[in-house]
Amino acid sequence: MNSKLRPGTAETYPITDRNRAKRLHERAKYDRESVYAILDAGLLCHVAYVIDGQPYCTPTIHWRKGDWLFWHGSAASRMLRNQSKGAQVCVTVSHIDALVLARCGFNHSADYRSAMCFGTARLIDDPNQKAEALREVVDRFYPDRTSLLRPSTDQEIKATSVVGMKIEEAAAKVRTKGVGDEEEDLGLPIWAGIFPVTTVIGAAKASALIPAGTEMPESLKIYAEGRRLDDALLEAQAHYEAE
């Protein structure tokens, strides 16, 4: 944790039994900056919740605005119906950065970044707030794109639900250790090392049905071929916050 950030201050989330790291606590961070960086570098989250005693975990696209997380889906979604009046949920985002191979099976691992957020999810039913959220789910990832698009119809908006959750508690957990062999294993003639893992953007493929001469907007060049996806998403988030 950043030594300048104290648990319970505006810069950090409170540390409770719910978000406190029980193992390998030295990897845990509770400051907002660390949590936000992991959330913003991801496109997909997993939302965990319970309905009538049955646990579920739903993958969905998320976006962050300040201390709020949002996700959306079909108005017929069981998850969104359950969260319409408020439901306790846990939202997680994770990134794998390397596969780690040691000289003992026990020490095989992975370098990773993860964030776990807790709060009460509620349906966004105010028409103006919902319209704004549906604009943001596009513009957060693709800067200024909705200004170029055909407006959504009333039926399309009606068919989509948006859920918002204020982050009440959160924790980030990061491993960057690489190989963690035991000292007595270092002389063993066994290959050990890491395989770095990244998600890289491929070459853009334009739809065959767009009119000839239609150019890609300059704002989408952040998704350039060969660029890391997490870097592009962080740049898009910075643009979104600067609006």
Per-residue pLDDT tens digits for 32-75: 999 999 999 999 999 999 888 889 999 999 999 999 999 987 65
Looking at residue 80, what is its pLDDT?
65
Please state, in angstroms and rounded to a whole number, the distance separating the CA atoms of residues 38 and 94: 7
Chain center to CA of 21: 19
Q: Are 69 and 165 in contact (CB under 8 A)?
A: yes
Cβ-based neighbours of 145, under 8 Å, separated by 6 or more: 138, 139, 217, 219, 220
**pLDDT average, residue stretch 225-237:** 97
Q: Are 133 and 164 in contact (CB under 8 A)?
A: yes
Looking at residue 3, what is its pLDDT?
32
Helix/strand/coil for 234: helix
Please state, in angstroms and rounded to a whole number, the distance separating the CA atoms of residues 173 and 38: 9
Q: Are 170 and 37 in contact (CB under 8 A)?
A: no
Looking at residue 6, what is its pLDDT?
41
> Mean of the per-residue pLDDT values for the chain?
88
Task: Give me the percent of the chain exceeding a pLDDT of 90.
Answer: 65
Looking at residue 230, what is its pLDDT?
97
Name residue 188's amino acid.
Answer: L
Residue 25 has pLDDT above 80, yes or no: no
Residue 4 has pLDDT above 50, yes or no: no
Please state, in angstroms and rounded to a whole number, the distance separating the CA atoms of residues 148 and 216: 11
- Homologous superfamily in CATH for domain 25-197: Electron Transport, Fmn-binding Protein; Chain A (2.30.110.10)
Q: Is 45 exposed, middle or buried (0-12, 13-18, 19+ CB in 10 A)?
A: buried
Looking at residue 22, what is its pLDDT?
73
pLDDT category at 18 given cuts 50, 70, 90 is confident
**pLDDT average, residue stretch 213-242:** 95
Residue 227 has pLDDT above 70, yes or no: yes
Q: Give the residue, 243 or 133, on which the prediction is more confident.
A: 133
Q: In this structure, how many other beta carbons lie within 10 angstroms of the beta carbon of residue 79? A: 21
pLDDT tens, position by position, 67-104: 999 998 765 566 666 666 678 999 999 999 999 999 99
pLDDT tens, position by position, 151-206: 988 888 888 889 999 999 999 999 998 899 989 999 999 999 999 999 999 999 99
pLDDT tens, position by position, 104-152: 999 999 999 999 999 999 888 888 888 899 999 999 999 999 999 999 8
Looking at residue 199, what is its pLDDT?
97
Chain center to CA of 178: 23
Looking at residue 78, what is its pLDDT?
67
Looking at residue 240, what is its pLDDT?
92
User: Position of tokens 């707030």?
Assistant: 129
Looking at residue 9, what is its pLDDT?
47
